[in-house]
Chains A and B, each alone.
Chain A
Amino acid sequence: EIVLTQSPATLSLSPGERATLSCRASQSVSSYLAWYQQKPGQAPRLLIYDASNRATGIPARFSGSGSGTDFTLTISSLEPEDFAVYYCQQRSIWPPITFGQGTRLEIK
């Protein structure tokens, strides 16, 4: 089973700042990594798939990069609505599909 480790667990930033979230895989997942955003009481929303492709309707301030075992989600300039929990997910070697434990992005 591929384990995904996200860091940091919590990130405290202010609106307008740049956010950098990390996801590390226990073995290579090639580019088969997705990122999701989840706000309290809501279902997750797909942001990025295949490491760097924005999903439909996702603003350009969200970008993904990486391949192999190290991946990054970057939010270039934080908007108030971006404060949420972010998860990464791999689909390279499955079953099982695995998710990271999440990074909470909170307002500083």
Chain B
Amino acid sequence: EVQLLESGGGLVQPGGSLRLSCAASGFTLSSYAMSWVRQAPGKGLEWVSSIRGSGSSTFYADSVKGRFTISKDNSKNTLHLQMSSLRAEDTAVYYCATNTPEPRVDIIMIDWGQGTLVTVSS
């Protein structure tokens, strides 16, 4: 059974940094593309970033490009999202999600974690 457990959320000041983690179990992270999706309070879903199973390619929404970095630690079966220069508009629940297995990079959010809340406020 696929399980995804996000962690690392919390309260951070504008301009600060935070690193989110998504611990994966039930499958081999290196074989799957993965994504981060966020949801601001009371709002809809917004795609943030995706990474190929191999980690060789990464993709970002314009709203986070240059500030966020997605990565994988395949030895620990963990996905990360390093967030810097945080803004109030980055406040949201951040979900990690599995996509399709290599070599495909079909961004369909198949399984989801429970989410972790990031609040950017002074």
Contacts and interface: CB of A to CB of B under 8 A. Distances in A.
Given A34-B108, A91-B106, A91-B107, A97 B47 contact: yes
Contact of A45 (B35, B45, B108, B112): B112
Contact of B113 (A43, A89, A91, A99): A43
B110 A102 contact: no
A44 B45 contact: yes
Interface residues of B, number: 22
Interface of B: 35, 37, 44-47, 50, 59-62, 95, 106-115
Contact of B108 (A46, A95, A101): A46
A60 to B, nearest CB: 19
Given A89-B45, A89-B108, A96-B62, 10 more contacts: A38-B45, A43-B115, A94-B107, A95-B50, A95-B59, A97-B50, A98-B47, A99-B45, A99-B46, A99-B47
A71 interface: no
A96 B112 contact: no
A104 to B, nearest CB: 11
Interface size class of A (residues with CB under 8 A): 20 to 34
B115 A97 contact: no
Q: Rank and list the top 8 A-B pairs by shortest CB-CB distance, nearest first.
A: A97-B47, A43-B112, A99-B45, A91-B107, A95-B59, A49-B108, A102-B44, A97-B107
A100 B60 CA distance: 18
B1 to A, nearest CB: 11
A95 B61 contact: yes
A105 B13 CA distance: 36
